[in-house]
Homo-oligomer: A and B are copies of this chain.
Amino acid sequence: MSFSFLSQLHCPKCHETYNPDVIQQLCTCGSPLLVDYDLASLKTQLKPADLVGRPSNLWRYHELLPVKSPEHVVSLGEGMTPLLPMSRLGKDMGIEHLWMKDEGIIPTGSFKARGAAVGVSKAKELGVEELAMPTNGNAGAAWSLYAARAGIRASIVMPVGAPLITRNECAVSGANLNLVNGLISDAGKIVGHAVKAFDLFDASTLKEPYRIEGKKTMGLEIAEQLDWKLPDVILYPTGGGVGLIGIYKALRELAELGWIEDKLPRLVAVQAAGCAPIVKAWEEGKTDSEFWADSTTVAFGINVPKALGDFLVLEAIYKTDGCAIAIEDDELLEEQKKIASMEGAFVCPEGAATFSAARKLRASGWIKDGETVVALNTGSGIKYPETVKVEVPILDPQDTLQRG
């Protein structure tokens, strides 16, 4: 049986198709490309039970991933992150069946590892020797490190305001790191010029087709970890939105394979109030978003004023009867503390926002009594230490413990 059932690439806007055996970036119409598989054939050859005993990382789904030869897999052991019951927090917000998919427990400490693992592996298979990308921090860190493992040279451009730790991750990998006085959109322009000038592979979000395939494994894992019974609601912190697009794609592929039979979960795009272009578009019933000027939020990973895949995110929301919701910074920081003190998980601000959103949607009745809810935490709180205020007594060795 083939390692991958990859068949072709297609454009979701103009429906042009492309050969996946050579390097492709955007469609000539400017849209991102999506990856197709021969699902009809796979359906007859693979069953869920065949996955039992496979390695507990995202490559257990290799038939549904684009890398054709196992020798090109570049892995740091990413995937099969824990799906944790959040009983105490769930009770606190009136959601009986609340789960967290914890993407902090993954190489590089964020879900960006999934896109990087699959994107870099496929780039290696296609012969890429040098890539470039703009980043808000975590994606650059992940792509730098996976590129290093693959022996691919990486040029990364990151806002000076991005989390410091991600800067160190890029630096230690030996990547060619540049900072910019500006936003990720400014970094994107610099990368765009460099890609043309130096003929580099453009690894910007959705400008290559394979990062989505890595991200979609979150959806595959949620389904498998819940024994192929889908939750009612999945909440996802949405910047570029690739994870949401990927989860939606995964669930549709599983339905086509006949591995799931339930109605798809209602997908919720969670944004920061200081940068909520998808929420605004959804509230206005539009299929595209507008650039969000002067965006700002502590949840740096979702500070994306205009996402290239906005139309795909909105489609996923509309098609699943989902919604989009914005959270204030002070709300999500308050939720971050509750999650740690009630459940022992130190989540990133973006992840905390999904729990704030669940709380609000339960209070409004949008999440109904008895529903099963999965919130995505996209990274470890360790990467954002400045979000926690610490005021503690400092003792001398002869002092006595302050009992608090």
Question: Is A107 close to B, CB under 8 A?
Answer: yes
Stretch at the interface among A11-19, A210-218, A334-342: A334-342
Question: Is A294 close to B, CB under 8 A?
Answer: no
Choice from B82, B173, B397 contacting A182 with Cβ under 8 Å: B397
Residues facing B in A150-180 (CB within 8 A) are 150-151, 155, 157, 160, 164-165, 167-169, 171-174, 176-180
Choice from B164, B341, B381, B388 contacting A148 with Cβ under 8 Å: B341
Closest to A160 in B: B394
Shortest distance from the beta carbon of A167 to any chain B beta carbon, whole Å: 6
Question: Is A236 close to B, CB under 8 A?
Answer: no
Complex contacts, A381 vs chain B, CB 8 Å: 168-169, 172
Alpha-carbon gap, A382 to B382, bound state (A): 7
Choice from B105, B165, B174, B186 contacting A340 with Cβ under 8 Å: B174
Complex contacts, A75 vs chain B, CB 8 Å: 84
Complex contacts, A253 vs chain B, CB 8 Å: none
Choice from B80, B145, B393, B403 contacting A198 with Cβ under 8 Å: B403
Complex contacts, A109 vs chain B, CB 8 Å: 109, 380, 382
Establish whether residues B105 and A178, one from each chain, have CB atoms under 8 Å apart when the complex forms. no
Alpha-carbon gap, A341 to B151, bound state (A): 9
- A132-147 CB contact bits vs B (8 Å, 1 = yes)? 1000000000000111
Question: Is A122 close to B, CB under 8 A?
Answer: no
Given A109-B109, A190-B397, A346-B172: A178 touches B392 (CB 8 Å cut-off): yes
Establish whether residues A401 and B194, one from each chain, have CB atoms under 8 Å apart when the complex forms. yes
Establish whether residues B168 and A397, one from each chain, have CB atoms under 8 Å apart when the complex forms. no
Question: Is A402 close to B, CB under 8 A?
Answer: yes
Establish whether residues B76 and A345, one from each chain, have CB atoms under 8 Å apart when the complex forms. yes
Question: Is A56 close to B, CB under 8 A?
Answer: yes
- A52-80 CB contact bits vs B (8 Å, 1 = yes)? 11001100000000000000001111001
- A119-132 CB contact bits vs B (8 Å, 1 = yes)? 00000000000001
Establish whether residues A57 and B82, one from each chain, have CB atoms under 8 Å apart when the complex forms. yes
Alpha-carbon gap, A186 to B82, bound state (A): 37
Question: Is A108 close to B, CB under 8 A?
Answer: yes
Question: Is A207 close to B, CB under 8 A?
Answer: no
Establish whether residues B344 and A145, one from each chain, have CB atoms under 8 Å apart when the complex forms. yes
Shortest distance from the beta carbon of A20 to any chain B beta carbon, whole Å: 25
Question: Is A44 close to B, CB under 8 A?
Answer: no
Question: Is A149 close to B, CB under 8 A?
Answer: yes
Establish whether residues A181 and B346, one from each chain, have CB atoms under 8 Å apart when the complex forms. no
Question: Is A390 close to B, CB under 8 A?
Answer: yes
Establish whether residues B176 and A402, one from each chain, have CB atoms under 8 Å apart when the complex forms. yes
Alpha-carbon gap, A105 to B182, bound state (A): 32
Question: Is A242 close to B, CB under 8 A?
Answer: no
- A364-404 CB contact bits vs B (8 Å, 1 = yes)? 00000000000000001111010011101111110111111
Closest to A164 in B: B385
Question: Is A189 close to B, CB under 8 A?
Answer: yes
Choice from B76, B193, B394 contacting A181 with Cβ under 8 Å: B394
Most buried by B among A52, A53, A401: A401
Given A77-B84, A390-B168, A403-B176: A344 touches B198 (CB 8 Å cut-off): no
Establish whether residues B385 and A168, one from each chain, have CB atoms under 8 Å apart when the complex forms. yes
Q: Beyond A57-B82, A180-B399, list 6 extra A-B contacts (CB 8 Å).
A: A76-B82, A109-B382, A168-B385, A172-B337, A178-B393, A178-B395
29 A-B Cβ contacts within 8 A? A52-B52, A76-B82, A76-B344, A76-B345, A77-B83, A77-B102, A77-B105, A82-B107, A108-B382, A147-B344, A148-B344, A149-B345, A150-B344, A155-B403, A164-B385, A168-B346, A168-B390, A169-B381, A171-B389, A171-B392, A172-B341, A172-B346, A178-B393, A180-B395, A180-B399, A181-B394, A189-B397, A382-B382, A382-B383
